[in-house]
A and B are shown apart, each in its own frame.
Chain A
Amino acid sequence: MLNIIVKDLLEYVDVEESTITEKTKPATDLHLNSYDYICLVGKLEDDLGITISESDLRGFTTLGDLDEYVQKKMIQ
């Protein structure tokens, strides 16, 4: 699932794909701003057919956190 998140993420940040890992922090490491972050969340929802609530967003620090959350959502 991380590869889908990274593919969507690369639409909003200008970095080498190989530098992004599950430990990457979108806000501090990639300077992803709030608007791009909410766009990324919306894109993931659309691509994967899931809903990510705003109240859950506070729990994501790294891409690994988001990946784990998305995987759980896909099983539900």
Chain B
Amino acid sequence: MARVILTGEAGRRFAGGTTEIQVEADTIRRLLIELDRRFPGLGKQIEEGMALAIDGEIYQDAYFVPLRPESEIYLIPRIAGG
């Protein structure tokens, strides 16, 4: 199962301080659905204002990126630029 690390505001606000969970999901879309099921509001929060760092790569707005069972996923703030 993929390991999801809930750091920062999202973890505190939606997951009651839980910092790490295991999630069975083979795409980002399924991951978001599962996160939202466990922590209502978190999936929407990720979709609208966050990015995912998956095994060293940052993904923003990408539902169908495949996840591996051993994937490590960090929730991070969305990045833009100037």
A binds B: no
